[in-house]
Each structure stands twice: as C-alpha cells, then as structure tokens.
Amino acid sequence: MSRYGSTSSGDLFSEVASIDYPILDADAHVNEPPDTWQDRVPAKWRERAPKVVKSDRGDMWSFDDGKTMRAVGLTATAGLSYPQFAPSGFAYESIRPGSFDTKARLADMDADGIWLQVLYPSVTLAGAKVYGSEPELQRACVRAYNDWISEFCEGSDGRLVPQAILSTTGVDDAISETERALALGHRGVVISSFPNGTLDAAPEDDRFWSFAQEADIPVAVHIGSFLKGTAANSPPLDTLAFMGVAGASKAGAYTIPVVCDLIFSGIFERFPRLKLLLVEANIGWIPTVLEQVDDMYLRYRWFTNGVEHMPTMPSRTFHRNFYATFMVDTVGIELRHRMNVDHLMWSTDYPHTGTDWPNNRVSIERNFRGVERGTVKKMLHDNCRALYKLDHVPETLD
C-alpha cells in the first residue's frame, strides 16, 4: 500500500473487536503529583518552584511563588461526564490516581484496551517559561520533571514512554538536557520555543537541530505552547469565548503558524532527516494548508529568494519531516489520501477533556469505520512503534 491512504475498496475496518495488535496511544498526559518539584529542586528554589496550594477553588498550582496560578480542573476529567467538567474545584485526593500513580495508570489503560502511552505533562504543558525567567530556576524545574516522569514510567514494562521537556534558556541547555533525558530513557523531547529560547529562529539553533537529527528522535510541539502574540492570552475558562479558543486550537489554529515558521525557516533544507512532531492539533487542517503554502511558494519564490534557498516544495517538506497526532478527527481521516499516513498517529488525551476513557474503543470505531485495515493499523500501531523505535512492542496480541 502507498504511504498515502488508498481510496480503493477492499478489506475495510468496521469494528474494534477485529483489532489483533496492541493499540498505541501517541499522546496521553500525567497530572504531576504535588511533590514533583518540591522534593527535587535545590532548597534555594523551593519557594519559587511549582507547588500545590489549597483554596476554596480546589487545588491550585502556584508558579514562581504565586506569580502565576492554575487550578486543577480540565486536565483531570477522565471518568467524568461532560456536565461534571469544570475549570477548577478539583483536588488531588479526588482525581483519578491514574494521573500520577503508575499501577493505577496501567489499570486504566487495561480497562480502555490501550497497550502503550506516550506521555506529556499537564502542569508544564505551556512550556518551561511558566517556571519563571530565572535560567537556573528553569533548569532545576525542567530536570525535576524529567526525573519524575522517568521514575513514573519505570516498572511499566515499557508500556509508558516518557517525553522530556526542555527549558527556554538557550541552545546549550537544550542540548545538555536532551542528552541527559535520553540517558534516562526518554524517547523524544518537547519544545515550547525555538532552541535559542525565543519564538524566532536563529542561526545558533542549528546546533540543536543537528543533534536531534543525529540522535534520530522526534522533537514535539504540543498545543498550548509555542504561542505568539494574542494566541498566548486565552480568555477565562468559564466563558463562551474559551470554547471558541479551544475549538480553534484543536482545529490547528495555533499550530499552523508554527508549522509555517518552521517550514519556511530553511531548517529542513539543512537537516532533511529531522523529525518534527505536532501533538494534539489534529490533522484535518493539513491538506488545505499544504495546498495554500505550495501555491504561495510557486508564485512568490522568485522575489523572496526561495529559488536559491528553498528548492523543496513545502508540502514535500511536511510529508517528509512532520508527524502529527489526532484524537477525534473524522474530517482528517476522510482526507487521509492527501497526507502521509505513515506519519499520523491516534491518541486518547487521557486524562484531559479530550479523552473518551474508558470507552476510547468507541472513539476508534467512530474515526476509522470504512477505512482500509492496513491504514488503520498504521495509525493505531505501526507509526508510533516506528517513530519511537518501540521494538519491545509485540506485533500482535496473544
């Protein structure tokens, strides 16, 4: 079968009961326990490191000694019905232990029919800048999270895969922490800025891109970080406007500018084997964006020096270098023949509001009914297994 989804009839997927291979979840989350940073950062930083504060709004995360506060809420909704969702009011004593306890997480995965999960943070989902601007504080907090998530994945028999977060304190720190994280067993890294620590590309970034290419690891951008301008200022969570922001984000609104910045930065001309992973922005937007950037490229490459500096079509760069995860995206699945299906991976978003736990098998049927079985297996198993080199994952279930 071509890497691009076939539209021919044949052996088509109809029911989840027919799946005879491990289902791999390419984007799940943890809710870091209250002692994650307080037990791990040097004493001089504990007051400013993230900590949980009890309040009449439930548990609140305090960053940089209260400069930023965030309620435990929409990141901890697994098992709740929609009317029970709330942006605050939860406490660690009441949320599902699978958020922060390894044995409980594996039990929740078993109940949902999920064999493996690739893990991303919740508390630091917006990026390491939330810790504060002090470089030493950021580095200490980044190390603390990466150590904790590595410990969380221990004892899972390879069913939990950690992704390291990186600071926004420069290229040297990004490379150093990536090396340290890989030694701990992390399979990739998550960036919330360009490696130089800003939201603009710089020549010095090439040292990091070169390192990541040679290490052959995915460099991930998760929605909610790497935000420019007004995108960084979300409306209050209990307003109608927030629904618009959330829907736009899941439709790719804030990921598209990052993708275009990356494609037209020249990075992938210099590092053609670099793997860039887009997490939780879904995929339905990809074909129309690629059509439009290709059209602009062909029209504008002469006066922008694209002829000399960017000979590769933007869509070709995307199909070759970019990977993407999705949750419920039936539009994207219908348009799969206009994407590289070898680079698309399904996910649950557990324990955030995007998850259908413990009934993600219903979500799988909704997404994939009528799709070629081989293509479904790629998105549920093969692609994730190959990207992260998960050779320990069996090809079939017993």
**194: Cβ–Cβ under 8 A, 6 or more apart, which residues?**
200, 201, 202, 205
Give this prediction's pTM: 0.95
Q: How many Å separate Cα 316 from the centre of its chain?
A: 22
- Which pLDDT does position 231 carry in this prediction? 61
pLDDT of 232 over the 50 cut: yes
What is the rounded distance in angstroms from the CA atom of residue 313 to the CA atom of residue 240?
40
Mean pLDDT of 53-77: 96
- Three-state DSSP at 202 gives coil
Q: Measure Cα distances from 321 to 37, 182, 187, 265, 307 in Å.
A: 34, 21, 17, 13, 20
End-to-end CA distance of the chain: 26
- Three-state DSSP at 71 gives strand
- Which pLDDT does position 7 carry in this prediction? 43
- Three-state DSSP at 4 gives coil
Q: What percent of the chain has pLDDT over 70?
A: 96
What is the rounded distance in angstroms from the CA atom of residue 124 to the CA atom of residue 126?
5
pLDDT tens per residue across span 105-121: 999 999 999 999 999 99
pLDDT tens per residue across span 301-341: 999 999 999 999 999 999 999 999 999 999 999 999 999 99
Angle, helices 171-184/135-153, rounded to nearest 10 degrees: 20
- Three-state DSSP at 178 gives helix
pLDDT mean across residues, the chain: 95
Band of the pLDDT at 228, cuts 50, 70, 90? Answer: confident
- Which pLDDT does position 230 carry in this prediction? 58
DSSP 358: T
pLDDT tens per residue across span 172-214: 999 999 999 999 999 999 999 999 999 999 999 999 999 999 9
**44: Cβ–Cβ under 8 A, 6 or more apart, which residues?**
none
pLDDT of 1 over the 50 cut: no
Q: Are the CB atoms for 21 and 379 separated by under 8 Å? A: no
- Which pLDDT does position 208 carry in this prediction? 98
- Three-state DSSP at 70 gives strand
What is the rounded distance in angstroms from the CA atom of residue 245 to the CA atom of residue 279?
17
What is the rounded distance in angstroms from the CA atom of residue 384 to the CA atom of residue 393?
10
**393: Cβ–Cβ under 8 A, 6 or more apart, which residues?**
22, 24, 115, 116, 158, 381, 385
Band of the pLDDT at 233, cuts 50, 70, 90? Answer: confident
- Which pLDDT does position 234 carry in this prediction? 82
Q: Are the CB atoms for 44 and 137 separated by under 8 Å? A: no
Tokens describing residue 115: 């064999």
- Which pLDDT does position 4 carry in this prediction? 52
pLDDT of 93 over the 50 cut: yes
pLDDT of 5 over the 90 cut: no
Antiparallel, parallel or unpaired: β 218-222 and 189-190: parallel
Mean pLDDT of 109-136: 96
Judge: domain 16-44+97-387, CATH 2.60.120.10.
Answer: no
Q: How many Å separate Cα 200 from the centre of its chain?
A: 20
pLDDT of 146 over the 90 cut: yes
The residue that leads in pLDDT, 146 or 229, is 146
What is the rounded distance in angstroms from the CA atom of residue 361 to the CA atom of residue 359?
5
The residue that leads in pLDDT, 2 or 30, is 30
- Which pLDDT does position 3 carry in this prediction? 56
